[in-house]
Structure 1
């Protein structure tokens, strides 16, 4: 008999199409079309001791490095959310926020959450415009951040 997932302890991969983003205290539950760039890597440190009997280097993890996260959403009337945040950038100062990206299950409960600490916008892109197009207008926001924390739902 096939497992339909109703038994306790069943493991199924999570679908990636239901998610929401909180860009700060007043900007919660924003629906996005796409979020990409959730990645982390450790820079590599190579070191060779002078008394090492092997003729090779030791490899150690170094500083953590995070790429920028890009988010895309439809443009709505009187919604300047991305542009307003980007406009706060001054010479070496910007209002940093903790951004939450939440992967939801079919009932809307959080199954996985990425918290991007000290995030700020680095790029905002408006939609391309075509007189013969029939697509919706999409804008994108690229943000940099200092640390990523991942938690699982309750």
Structure 2
């Protein structure tokens, strides 16, 4: 899917599939998707008979960053319902896919989150000061791995 080119792809053209069985139906577009990343932990190790007085770095466990999705409040309760289902004891694990699109809206890269579950839902900040801001909601996801597909 990914095609190498001289100019980087824009970060403003992407799709998010929440893995709820309706991957072709888009209820609302997300304005932000952040936190794609992982971190590898290393242990220091040195044999007692090593000739060099330095330690080796040995990879061991790794951890995944939480992913945050933001979108304008549109009256759909799908994100809140997902959080509520997990809060009430349901199995909320899903495969969430974030697909980057090129200028012609063709998929060029995708990041697949394995066993993603909602961690936190944040509703809009409401203020009657007449600023014209958009009411936004956030969904924070935990997951067990990210694949670049």
Give the TM-score taking structure 2 as reference length: 0.88
Bigger drift between 92-101 and 14-23 goes to: 92-101
Q: Distance in 1 between matches of 2:97 and 2:54?
A: 43
Structure of higher RCO (CA pairs closer than 8 Å, 6+ residues apart): 2
The unaligned stretches of length 5 or more in structure 1 are 1-8
What do you get for the CA RMSD once the two structures are aligned? 1.8
Q: Which residue matches 1:54? A: 52
Number of equivalenced pairs: 142
What's the secondary structure of 1:86's corresponding residue?
Answer: helix
What's the secondary structure of 1:127's corresponding residue?
Answer: coil
How far 1:106 sits from its partner (Å)?
1.5
How far 1:53 sits from its partner (Å)?
1.9
Q: Distance in 2 between matches of 1:42 and 1:80?
A: 36
User: Is the 8 Å Cα contact of residues 70 and 137 (structure 2) preserved in structure 1?
Assistant: yes
Structure 1: 4+ residue segments shifted above 3 A? 27-30, 90-93
Over 3 Å counting, the alpha-carbon distance change for 1:37 and 1:104 in structure 2 is: same
User: Is the 8 Å Cα contact of residues 92 and 118 (structure 2) preserved in structure 1?
Assistant: no
Q: Which residue matches 2:121? A: 124
Q: Distance in 2 between matches of 1:94 and 1:54?
A: 51
Q: Which residue matches 1:41? A: 39
Over 3 Å counting, the alpha-carbon distance change for 1:10 and 1:138 in structure 2 is: closer
Q: Distance in 2 between matches of 1:51 and 1:70?
A: 48
Indicate whether 1:111 and 2:113 are aligned: no
The unaligned stretches of length 5 or more in structure 2 are none
How far 1:140 sits from its partner (Å)?
0.2
Q: Distance in 2 between matches of 1:33 and 1:90?
A: 26
Q: Distance in 2 between matches of 1:86 and 1:140?
A: 12
What's the secondary structure of 1:60's corresponding residue?
Answer: strand
